[in-house]
Chain A
């Protein structure tokens, strides 16, 4: 397996949806190729960091204000 072929399957590997028929081949490549292992680990970490940190947090006071505005308009038939 080449690195290009590995990268094409990277998403499946991250999402744990690799076909069992090629899983061993992929894992062997990653074990032998330090660069692909780095790309795999850092891509997975990228997703993990974006999931763990809410970069567009909705502050409570703003949330309450928007929530009230929505509900008052709904109650008045929008």
Chain B
């Protein structure tokens, strides 16, 4: 028998370690998908005091109760679930389809499909991850329609080796995003991530932007954990390389060609 524990304190320590501000931590803490989940087994089924102490530590994810209410016929509970995740689902659909109208359709279809299939949702899975899987599939189907039936998968366009070895080794300006206004920055970030191969972009979007764990990303996309890790590294390096054009120090000296990585 397994129980899950949500570790919020550990997350804030990690975020603080990596230089996240308190506002960002609050945002991350407010989103359950940014929490780290671990599983463990009960040490011994007859040790009641241990079971009780673990049960007190355990915290049922609030989505489980909402799903139960929906199953019992309470549509307003589904309203809460939609409101909670609509922004994320829209963003994921945009990342995959790269088309605003498609993302709107995917968002609606994903929530409707999830509602229809709620009986198939296993209570031990995370509702958000389950919903993301539906949204990813809907997005890929939408792409397929747009490409007149051609198969679309998250494996395409992965042959490129671009960005696997960092080439631009110039340091960035401190707070480089301050050199652009909000709309310029958003345009740079969109253009940059849209240039990634689909299979890298979706891994980066789920893992780094939406905060799914490596395991959840793998499960959602039907990939192995090593495949997710490999794609994530290449996605991060390619994005870094491309953003360097905009963010590196303007007055910095060029790095001599022979002084690259060993």
Contact = CB atoms under 8 A, between A and B. Distances in A.
24 contacts: A3-B261, A3-B262, A7-B233, A7-B261, A10-B233, A10-B236, A11-B229, A11-B233, A16-B17, A43-B236, A46-B243, A47-B236, A49-B243, A50-B209, A53-B185, A56-B90, A56-B190, A62-B104, A70-B111, A71-B75, A71-B78, A71-B79, A73-B112, A74-B75
A22 B95 CA distance: 35
Interface string B154-179: 00000000000110011110001100
Contacts of A43: 236-237, 240
Interface residues of B, number: 58
A48 B209 CA distance: 9
Q: Describe A's contact surface by its main secondary structure.
A: helix
Interface of B: 14, 17-20, 24, 75, 78-79, 82-83, 86-87, 90-91, 94-95, 103-104, 107-108, 111-112, 115-116, 165-166, 169-172, 176-177, 182, 185-186, 189-190, 193, 204, 208-209, 211, 229, 232-233, 236-237, 239-240, 243-244, 247, 255, 259-262
Interface in A2-16: 2-4, 7-8, 10-11, 14, 16
B172 to A, nearest CB: 5
A49 to B, nearest CB: 6
A53 B140 CA distance: 25
B186 A53 contact: yes
B173 to A, nearest CB: 10
A19 interface: no
B24 to A, nearest CB: 6
Interface of A: 2-4, 7-8, 10-11, 14, 16, 35-36, 38-39, 41-58, 62-63, 66-67, 69-71, 73-75, 78
B261 A38 contact: no
A16 B15 CA distance: 10
Given A56-B94, A63-B87, 6 more contacts: A10-B236, A16-B17, A49-B243, A50-B189, A50-B193, A58-B91
A41 B244 CA distance: 12
A35 to B, nearest CB: 5
A38 B115 contact: no
Nearest to A62: B104
